């Protein structure tokens, strides 16, 4: 598994853009976002829009696709679920795992996140493993412990962590307009880097996510251990996502 070139600029559309509006997004985005090497741009549409995204991208292989969630089994009686293998067949090269909305709204436990990460790797996709503390955790002074535990469960489960990407997304900063200060983000990324380095995986890219906007993207990317950005709300609009991608150029 090859490590994606950094910076990684990733857009998580969440439950936005059906197949028709996905085509419109890419028509506009590809006009704004010129062909570029040396960075990785990934869009995570809803699974139902992956095929539309793939066909809208055509020959533009500089923009990659990912899926927002997968089941840990490869097939079977799991109504409503999709597997990493299926997502790969629809054009995904990446898969988000453990996004805080999955953990909080759909009760995903650390063990589920670990199983999903393994399934994504087995399917030949790159997992983007999301970790992050709640506001309560931060106020209680246990932000580092929570993130270390979440990542530790994944590192214990995978045979080789060199094929993963980590996204630090403090829960209190997601969709709230609150962003971690560049210094706070850097401090947590440094701690994650140390945890990865103790397993010999210091080169795993670590992305920051949480209310990233065109206005704060460059400052966050300037931090030495911020290897990229995972963007939610601001990635749904082609102009703002293109501006964020340009900040990583
Ligand atoms: C996300 O969904 O991963 C995210 C970071 O959302 P937002 O940018 O809207 O806070």
pLDDT tens digits, one per residue of 173-187: 998 888 889 999 999
Domains delineated in the chain: 8-247 (3.20.20.70)
Burial 87-104 (b: 16+ CB within 10 A, else e): bbebbbbbbbbbbbbbbe
Query: 66 and 95 in contact (C-beta within 8 Å)?
Result: yes
Residue 159's pLDDT band (cuts 50, 70, 90): confident
Range with lowest mean pLDDT among 114-123, 128-137, 170-179? 170-179
Round to whole Å and give the CA distance between 88 and 197.
29
Task: Determine if ligand 1 sits within 6 Å of the CB of residue 211.
Answer: yes
Considering Cα of 85, then 86, then 92, then 96, what sign does the dihedral take? negative
This prediction's pTM = 0.97
Catalytic entry in 99, 101, 108, 189: 99
How much is the pLDDT for 1?
65
Task: Determine if ligand 1 sits within 6 Å of the CB of residue 210.
Answer: yes
Concerning whether 99 is annotated as a catalytic residue, the answer is yes
């Amino acid at each position: 598994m090859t490590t994606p070139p950094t910076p990684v600029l990733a857009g998580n559309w969440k439950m936005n853009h059906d197949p028709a509006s996905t085509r419109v997004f890419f028509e506009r985005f590809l006009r704004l976002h010129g062909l570029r090497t040396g960075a990785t741009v990934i869009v995570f549409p809803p699974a139902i829009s992956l095929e539309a995204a793939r066909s809208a991208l055509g020959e533009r292989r500089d923009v990659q696709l990912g899926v927002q969630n997968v089941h840990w089994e490869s097939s079977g009686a799991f109504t409503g679920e999709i597997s990493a293998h299926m997502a790969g067949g629809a054009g995904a090269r990446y898969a988000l795992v453990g996004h805080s909305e999955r953990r909080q709204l759909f009760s995903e436990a650390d063990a589920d996140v670990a199983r999903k990460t393994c399934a994504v790797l087995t399917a030949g996709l790159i997992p983007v493993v999301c970790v992050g503390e709640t506001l309560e955790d931060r106020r209680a002074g246990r932000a580092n412990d929570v993130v270390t535990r979440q990542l530790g469960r994944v590192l214990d489960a995978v045979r080789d962590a060199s094929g993963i990407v980590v996204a630090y997304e403090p829960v209190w900063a997601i969709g709230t307009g609150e962003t971690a200060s560049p210094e706070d983000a850097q401090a947590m990324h440094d701690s994650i880097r140390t945890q990865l380095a103790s397993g010999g995986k210091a080169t795993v890219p670590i992305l920051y996510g949480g209310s990233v906007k065109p206005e704060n993207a460059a400052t966050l990317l300037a931090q030495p251990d911020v290897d990229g950005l995972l963007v939610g709300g601001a990635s749904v609009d082609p102009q703002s996502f293109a501006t964020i991608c340009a900040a990583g150029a």
